[in-house]
Amino acid sequence: MRRMETSEYEFESQFDIMDRIAARNSLLPSPPKAFVDTYGCQQNESDSERLRGMLSCMGYVFTQNENEADIVVINTCAVREHAEMRILSNVGALVHAKKAKKDMIIAVCGCMVQQEHMAEKIKKSYPHVDLVFGTHELQNFPELLERLLLSPKRRRIFAVTDSEGRITEGLPVYRDRGVKAWLPVMYGCNNFCSYCIVPYVRGRERSRLPEHIFAEARELVASGYKDITLLGQNVNSYGKDLGTGVDFAYLIEELNKIEGEFLIRFMTSHPKDATKRLFETMAACEKAARHIHLPFQAGNNRVLKAMNRGYTKEQYLELIAMAREIMPDIVLTSDVIVGFPGETDEEFEDTLDIIRKVRFDALFTFIYSKRKGTPAAEMPDPFTREEKQRRFDRLLEIQNAISSEKHAQYVGKTIRVLVDGEGEGGEYNLTARTSGGRLVHLAGDRSLIGSFIDVEITGSTNWGLFGKIK
């Protein structure tokens, strides 16, 4: 597969543009303000860090109040209809902010507008939006913004291009997540699950070169980040397009050699590409978190085939058994879709069977959302929303009971955790995470944030744990 990278000329030209905009903004009485709002997955959050990085280089400071912003950037999600409706509602509401502040720039970017019909909807129905750009134009944001700023009548710009995707190294990054950091290792997806829009809006799989990943990881560790999550739509496919023989397990092995005290996490894994080598590598590397998120989506083989998932129920259960044999303490989480088109009550029972057999620590559950342009959107779907909701409620009841039981087993144990932030107030003013990603509520001094400490678990719920510092 041919890898596409931004040329050196394109790369340098964007920095030249950022310098010009920064010089322009330096002449203002005060620095202009930017508000960046992010919807969707961790990859979107990582993209927003790069948008903030570019904005910072252009002389903008950040605000959490869109009404006082000089530029508002909405980074969108297309995975579910509910997310799109919420985004459109919030974009629509910005018309009032723009009336009050006529020079405000409103930009909408990301996965939702990479879809042609959604970009057209923005163009026709949201005239207060100045700039729309898709996922393949992220690295060109400074150029697009400059064109808008220099336009005499602030003519609207739409930049949504079809592409297999590219990789742009060296974009500035603005992180504000304390001790946690996202580290993209690859982009795009080749799986084409029948319900999923991601391959259409993110492009084909393309892996970053290992040396770029390692360099960024060393910078993160040197900057004090203690919880580094490797990102990709399917991290288990890492390296297949490079043709060098490196794989995802190799990344973990090499990252584990970096000096310093930190955890390596990753998401998301695809079961069809998860291997014994990956599990053995995780077990052998002390910095690899004891957690794997392995979406199974459905438990029935006919449904899995209709989803184009590439594995059977039996193969998934064998994979889980292998992971637990190699890492008995592994924390397992997963994604489940309820109500895929044509899924019967009997077929749904196979999903519940997997949940009962695996006993996941936690699940991320969704009712099927039709995505225009995907094969599943054209499949017959005779079941009502109410019927799907009843199934969904049954699943939640079963999983909540399992999560409560699993979390109760921690009570009385002493566990090493990373204190990662402040709580929401009250008795437990700090939050922490176990190596397996379980949330722990603590009471302690704020100076502990960023430290690994031992905690005695004193209580639990189905969503988290409570502890006291040893």
What does pLDDT average to in each consecutive run of 10 residues of the chain (470 residues)? 47 90 97 97 96 98 96 96 94 96 96 96 97 95 96 90 83 90 96 96 95 97 97 95 94 98 96 96 98 97 98 98 98 98 97 98 96 96 95 97 97 97 90 96 96 98 94
Residue span(s) of the chain under CATH 3.80.30.20 come to 183-408
- How high is the pLDDT of residue 2? 43
Nearest to 91 by CA among 80, 104, 79, 103: 104
Amino acid type, 138: L
Nearest to 216 by CA among 262, 258, 174, 183: 183
3-state secondary structure of 212: helix
Contact 133, 15 (CB under 8 A): no
Task: State phi, psi for 113 to the nearest 5 degrees.
Answer: -80, -5
- How high is the pLDDT of residue 45? 96
Token pair of 375 as six digits = 């094969």
Nearest to 114 by CA among 84, 152, 153: 84
Task: State phi, psi for 432 to the nearest 5 degrees.
Answer: -145, 165
Residue 329 makes CB contacts below 8 A (sequence gap 6+) with: 290, 436
pLDDT in tens, 428-439: 999 999 999 999
Amino acid type, 44: N
CATH 2.40.50.140 fits 414-469, yes or no: yes
pLDDT in tens, 105-152: 999 999 999 999 999 999 999 999 999 999 999 999 999 999 999 988
The CATH class for the domain spanning 183-408 reads alpha beta
**pTM passes above 0.85:** yes
| CA separation for the pair 129, 133 (Å, rounded) | 11
- How high is the pLDDT of residue 1? 40
Nearest to 111 by CA among 289, 3, 233, 26: 233
Contact 436, 288 (CB under 8 A): no
Superfamily, domain 8-159 = Methylthiotransferase, N-terminal domain (3.40.50.12160)
The alpha carbon of residue 169 and the mean position of all alpha carbons in its chain are separated, in whole angstroms, by: 19
Query: The tokens 């490196």 sit on which residue?
Result: 246
Per-chain mean pLDDT for the chain:
94
Contact 160, 116 (CB under 8 A): yes
Inter-CA distances, 146 with 13, 19, 120, 141, Å = 12, 11, 23, 9
Query: The tokens 């303490």 sit on which residue?
Result: 329
Task: State phi, psi for 37 to the nearest 5 degrees.
Answer: -115, 130
Residue span(s) of the chain under CATH 3.40.50.12160 come to 8-159
- How high is the pLDDT of residue 357? 98
- How high is the pLDDT of residue 29? 96
Residue span(s) of the chain under CATH 2.40.50.140 come to 414-469
